[in-house]
């Protein structure tokens, strides 16, 4: 059973180097990782070797003069912080009851509607090998605002121990400084239908799907996370169903007014790699992506890189069309594999099964620029999507100051959301839940957690309900 505590005030906690100041100091057995970061909220989770109620010290401009302390001594800690400033860098340390981590920085999400977003993404990395570490280090060097993990995050079976050894240890520096949002791969589902995945990660939630599928806005980009394991029948009906997820995806995409829409999940609708195309994902979800103007569909599963032309139905879309582009980015560290189709299909623009690497994406106004990079910086692929956007709203001029002692009249500001815009044109290639104490039987009931009622509204508004509740997470 996970117990949830919500702590207002904000920043984060992270640890890379501990300095002991007393004999009773706790040690971090898992260094902090950033989750659920929004414009004014953030979550940090970490593990200790001794039950402790740690303190997070944080602040802006390099200071750590603000504090928040966990309400309960636990070996598993996760603190939820609110009241942060959008698009702001925070420095933070963790005081673990006598040990202190080295200062680390992270930045909150920008103001909703901000027309500049930078993220990296890759899947199939959870092996704890040198290739994974090189890719992770290279992504950190790009200083992205966020990182999308495309599944198979912890080989081979997605166990608790494998999450520790194959995800959190080799990628600790990246996860300590860059917020990451994940979807599960088929290897996570090898253990209790992904239960360790849900136990270890703190993801946004949807009212219908919990953490199985969810969406969030970052600036003016709408991201939709789908659990393709659920969609293709790998989860039991009491956990997640294809029909409910498909209906939610359509409703979510229809409600979003963000000008850019990006969907990510594990099994690729289009792939000439070892596993090949997942035809149910193509048949059941691609029509929704086309209908609601999705620009990019990011997947993994096959251990290679591949990019399609804009696709419509089962064919390449006409020249100049704004249909979705599909990418396989399964080159994060696992052993690369042979392609299943010797000759490049007509729908495939470029593919590479020789190099590990990651995708770096920048969205500036009406232009999305992506590069597929190796850890050494070699460009495997690059492409640009463009679209016409309405002029950016002009910030309102400051109004007259109210006379001291008299109430002011609330003003109005433009909505941060943008009008619905179709797809894009492609250029040529070129204290949150703490997880409880594992020694307490009440804290080890599978599939039970409590999470904040985080609803991600249209037009990029992150809302954290003040009422806390318990829910089933299986």
pLDDT digits (tens, 9 = 90+) for 249-300: 999 999 999 999 999 999 999 999 999 999 999 999 999 999 999 999 999 9
Cα–Cα distance measured from residue 79 to residue 56, given in angstroms and rounded to the nearest whole number: 9
My answer on whether 51 and 123 are in the same domain is no
Count of structural domains, the chain:
2
Cα–Cα distance measured from residue 472 to residue 451, given in angstroms and rounded to the nearest whole number: 9
Cα–Cα distance measured from residue 241 to residue 193, given in angstroms and rounded to the nearest whole number: 13
Mean pLDDT of the chain: 84
Of 386, 404, 426, the domain-final residue:
386
Mean pLDDT of 160-172: 98
Task: Identify the CATH number of the domain in which residue 224 sits.
Answer: 3.60.21.10
The residue among 469 and 257 whose pLDDT is bigger is 257
My answer on whether 347 and 208 are in the same domain is yes
Cα–Cα distance measured from residue 13 to residue 179, given in angstroms and rounded to the nearest whole number: 12
Confidence of residue 395 (pLDDT cuts 50, 70, 90): low
Task: Identify the CATH number of the domain in which residue 449 sits.
Answer: 2.60.40.10
My answer on whether 144 and 229 are in the same domain is yes
My answer on whether 138 and 227 are in the same domain is yes
For residue 450, tell me if it sits in a domain: yes
The pLDDT score that the predictor gives to residue 122 is 99
My answer on whether 178 and 207 are in the same domain is yes
Position of tokens 């080799």?
170
The pLDDT score that the predictor gives to residue 400 is 53
Q: Which strand ranges, in their side-by-side order, compose the sheet holding 296-299?
A: 214-218, 221-225, 260-264, 296-299, 325-329, 305-308, 348-352
Closest CA to 37 of 404, 334, 454, 428: 454
Q: Are 191 and 158 in contact (CB under 8 A)?
A: yes
Q: Mark 113-134 as b/e (b = at least 16 C-beta within 10 Å).
A: bbbebbbbbbbbbbbbbebbbb
Q: Mark 159-183 as b/e (b = at least 16 C-beta within 10 Å).
A: beebbbbbbbebbbbbbbbbbbbbb
The pLDDT score that the predictor gives to residue 443 is 37
My answer on whether 264 and 319 are in the same domain is yes
Of 360, 386, 412, the domain-final residue:
386
* 171-175, 418-422, 461-465: the lowest-pLDDT one: 461-465
Q: Are 35 and 45 in contact (CB under 8 A)?
A: yes
For residue 138, tell me if it sits in a domain: yes
My answer on whether 170 and 295 are in the same domain is yes
* 7-21, 343-357, 381-395, 417-431: the lowest-pLDDT one: 7-21
My answer on whether 149 and 102 are in the same domain is no
The pLDDT score that the predictor gives to residue 438 is 39
The pLDDT score that the predictor gives to residue 393 is 78
Cα–Cα distance measured from residue 232 to residue 367, given in angstroms and rounded to the nearest whole number: 33
Residue 36 Rama label (left phi>0; alpha psi -120 to 50; beta): left
Cα–Cα distance measured from residue 19 to residue 224, given in angstroms and rounded to the nearest whole number: 40
Q: Is the pLDDT of residue 462 over 50?
A: no
For residue 9, tell me if it sits in a domain: no
Mean pLDDT of 122-126: 98
For residue 401, tell me if it sits in a domain: no
Cα–Cα distance measured from residue 379 to residue 359, given in angstroms and rounded to the nearest whole number: 10
Closest CA to 50 of 70, 77, 32: 77
Give the structural domain span for 148.
Answer: 116-386
Confidence of residue 15 (pLDDT cuts 50, 70, 90): very low
Q: Is the pLDDT of residue 434 over 60?
A: no
Q: Are strands 180-182 and 146-149 parallel, antiparallel or unpaired?
A: parallel
Q: Is the pLDDT of residue 408 over 50?
A: no
The pLDDT score that the predictor gives to residue 7 is 36
My answer on whether 250 and 354 are in the same domain is yes
For residue 380, tell me if it sits in a domain: yes
The pLDDT score that the predictor gives to residue 90 is 95
Q: Are 225 and 240 in contact (CB under 8 A)?
A: no
Read off the pLDDT of residues 91-121 as tens digits, 9 standing for 90 and up: 988 888 888 889 999 999 999 999 999 999 9
In angstroms and rounded to an integer, the radius of gyration of the C-alpha atoms of the chain is 22
Read off the pLDDT of residues 37-75 as tens digits, 9 standing for 90 and up: 999 999 888 999 999 999 888 899 999 988 888 999 999
My answer on whether 138 and 161 are in the same domain is yes
The pLDDT score that the predictor gives to residue 44 is 83
The pLDDT score that the predictor gives to residue 169 is 98
Q: Is the pLDDT of residue 459 over 50?
A: no
Vertex 183: Cα angle to 180 and 185 (nearest 5) = 130
The residue among 401 and 416 whose pLDDT is bigger is 401
The pLDDT score that the predictor gives to residue 461 is 37
Q: Are 49 and 130 in contact (CB under 8 A)?
A: no
Mean pLDDT of 421-437: 45
My answer on whether 257 and 223 are in the same domain is yes
């Amino acid at each position: 059973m996970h117990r949830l505590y919500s702590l207002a005030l904000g920043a984060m906690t992270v640890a890379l180097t501990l300095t002991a100041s007393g004999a009773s100091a706790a040690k971090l057995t898992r260094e902090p990782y950033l989750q659920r970061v929004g414009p004014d909220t953030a979550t940090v989770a970490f593990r200790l070797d001794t039950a402790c109620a740690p303190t997070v010290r944080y602040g802006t401009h390099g200071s750590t003069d603000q504090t928040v302390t966990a309400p309960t001594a636990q070996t598993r800690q996760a603190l939820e912080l609110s009241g942060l400033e959008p698009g702001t860098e925070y420095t933070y340390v963790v005081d673990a009851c006598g040990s202190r981590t080295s200062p680390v920085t992270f930045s909150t999400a920008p103001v909703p509607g901000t027309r500049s977003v930078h993220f990296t993404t890759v899947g199939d990395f959870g092996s704890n090998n040198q290739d994974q570490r090189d890719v992770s280090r290279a992504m950190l060097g790009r200083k992205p605002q966020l990182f999308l993990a495309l599944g198979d995050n912890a080989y081979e079976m997605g166990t608790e121990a494998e999450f520790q050894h194959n995800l959190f240890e080799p990628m600790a520096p990246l996860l300590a400084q860059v917020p990451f949002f994940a979807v599960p791969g088929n290897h996570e589902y090898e253990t209790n239908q992904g239960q360790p995945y849900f136990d270890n990660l703190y993801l946004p939630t949807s009212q219908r799907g919990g953490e199985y599928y969810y969406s969030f806005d970052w600036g003016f980009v709408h991201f939709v996370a789908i659990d393709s394991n659920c969609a293709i029948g790998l989860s039991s009906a009491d956990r997640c169903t294809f029909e409910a997820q498909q209906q939610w995806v359509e409703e979510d995409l229809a409600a979003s007014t963000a000008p850019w829409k990006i969907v990510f999940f594990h099994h690729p609708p289009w792939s000439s790699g070892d596993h090949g195309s997942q035809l149910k994902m193509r048949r059941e979800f691609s029509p929704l992506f086309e209908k609601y103007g999705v620009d990019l569909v990011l997947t993994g599963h096959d251990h290679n890189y591949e990019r399609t032309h804009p696709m419509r139905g089962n064919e390449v879309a006409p020249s100049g069309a704004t249909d979705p582009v599909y990418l396989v980015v399964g080159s994060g560290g696992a052993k690369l594999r042979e392609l299943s189709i010797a000759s490049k299909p007509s729908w495939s623009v470029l593919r590479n099964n020789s190099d590990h690497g990651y995708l770096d994406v920048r969205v500036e106004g009406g232009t999305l620029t992506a590069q597929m990079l190796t850890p050494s910086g070699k460009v495997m692929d690059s492409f640009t999507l463009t679209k016409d956007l309405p002029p950016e709203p002009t910030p309102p001029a400051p109004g007259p100051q109210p006379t001291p002692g008299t109430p002011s009249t609330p003003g109005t500001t433009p909505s941060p959301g943008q009008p619905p815009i179709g797809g894009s044109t492609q250029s040529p290639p070129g204290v949150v839940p703490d997880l409880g104490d594992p020694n307490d039987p009440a804290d080890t009931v599978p599939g039970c957690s409590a999470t904040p009622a985080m609803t991600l509204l249209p037009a990029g508004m992150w809302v954290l309900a003040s009422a806390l509740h318990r829910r089933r997470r299986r």
